[in-house]
Amino acid sequence: MTLMLASIRPYDVVLTADGRSTTRTKGVVTGIDDRFQKLFPVPDHPVVIGHLGENHLNGKPVGEFLSDFMRQLNAGNHTIVEIADQLRSFAHPAVRLRLKAINGGDLRCGLWVAGFGAGEEHPRLVENLWKWKDQVLSCDEKQFLPLSVVEGGDGQKQIHPADWHIEKDKSIEEVREYHKTMMDEAINAKLAFNSVGGQVHELVITRDEWKWTLPPPVEKEDQKPSTQPATLPTSPPS
């Protein structure tokens, strides 16, 4: 019930997510939250966790669940792959319990870890995607390096396939505009019910920091979004 986009380039990552969360009962939409945060930066480190799919884990909203993980994470000592490994181990029991409890349809829960890890000159993104179907739970891992454009969530079916060539040697602002084009395409798709929508939020990650370029939804106690000012980092020289 999401569209998440990531552009991984040699010196920065642009992450964009929609803000719609839906509640379904027996396959029928019974609730919509259009101010749901899906991008969660790790404090004081150029690392961001993105979430898609089932968003209630361990009896908590996903933002609170990820805050628990971040409190025990020593991000400065680990690569992106190592952080993703730790997050997968932390989340797996909760994801298994939640998807098994729902046990209906093609259920998914995904977590992205993106940015610059310890000693890494260039960024990467690791996706762990859990699937529950026909009483079987699987978890697939994918890794993306520069240059890549990554699409996540059901909303990717509503856009033309992303093309990293469009972003090659472009400015951060041009990459953001490309993300906006794809997000607008998904949000404006003609569907009986569109699971993509709400308040779009966006981050840019450079080697030294992350910055909001589109701030997240207004703070909710159970999601704990960052309030760091939305200032745009400068692209490194080509």
Q: Which pLDDT tens digit goes with each residue over 191-220?
A: 999 999 999 999 999 999 999 999 998 755
Listed range (27-31, 142-146, 229-233) with the worst mean pLDDT: 229-233
Domain ranges, ordered by start, for the chain = 4-214
CA distance linking residue 3 with residue 53, whole number of Å: 10
- 82: how many CB neighbours lie within 10 A of its CB? 15
Question: Is pLDDT of 225 > 70?
Answer: no
Q: Where are the beta strands (DSSP E) in the chain?
A: 4-8, 13-17, 21-25, 28-33, 39-41, 47-53, 56-57, 60-61, 107-115, 124-133, 136-144, 148-152, 201-205, 210-214
Name the one residue in this structure whose structure tokens are 């610059």: 116
Q: What is the pLDDT of residues 99-143, one digit of tens each?
A: 999 877 778 999 999 999 999 999 999 999 999 988 899 999 999
Question: Is pLDDT of 223 > 80?
Answer: no
In this structure, CATH architecture of domain 4-214: 4-Layer Sandwich (3.60)
Which three-class secondary structure state does DSSP give residue 209? coil
Question: What mean pLDDT value characterizes the chain?
Answer: 90
User: Is the pTM above the cut of 0.85?
Assistant: yes
Can you give the pLDDT at residue 224? Answer: 47
Q: What is the pLDDT of residues 155-185, one digit of tens each?
A: 999 999 999 999 999 999 999 999 999 999 9
What is the Cα 222 distance to its own chain's centre?
Answer: 18
CA distance linking residue 42 with residue 55, whole number of Å: 18
The overall longest dimension of the chain from CA atoms, in Å, is 53
Confidence bin at 232 (pLDDT 50/70/90)? very low
Name residue 87's amino acid: L
Confidence bin at 237 (pLDDT 50/70/90)? very low
